[in-house]
Amino acid sequence: MSSYLLVHADSDREYLRGPGDELQTDLGVLEVPDDVGHGDVLETHLDEPFHVRRLRGPDLFNHFERTGAPMMPRDIGLVIGHTGAQSGDRVLDAGTGTGVLSGYLGRIGADVTTYEIDPEFAEVARGNMEMGGVSDRVDVRADDLTDELDDLVAGEPFDLITLDTGDAAAVVERAPELLVPGGHVAVYTPFVEDARDTELAAHEAGLGDVETLETIQRELTVDERGTRPSTAGVGHTGYLLFARRVE
CA distance 22 to 43: 12
CA distance 21 to 18: 5
pLDDT higher than 70, residue 16: yes
Q: Running DSSP on this structure, what letter comes out for residue 18?
A: -
| CATH code of the region 4-54 | 3.10.330.20
pLDDT digits (tens, 9 = 90+) for 173-223: 999 999 999 999 999 999 999 999 999 999 999 999 999 999 988 888 899
pLDDT higher than 80, residue 232: no
Q: Phi and psi of 145, rounded to 5°?
A: -55, -40
pLDDT digits (tens, 9 = 90+) for 27-63: 999 999 999 999 999 999 999 999 999 888 888 888 8
124: which residues sit within 8 A by CB, 6+ positions away? Answer: 65, 67, 98, 99
Distances (CA, A) of 54 to 31, 65, 101, 107: 17, 18, 18, 12
CA distance 242 to 20: 43
Instruction: Give me the residue spans of the domains in the chain.
Output: 4-54, 59-244
Tell me the pLDDT of the chain averaged across its residues.
Answer: 93
Sign of CA dihedral 159, 163, 167, 172: positive
Question: Any idea which fold 59-244 has?
Answer: Rossmann fold (3.40.50)
With contact defined as beta carbons under 8 Å apart, do 135 and 163 qualify? no
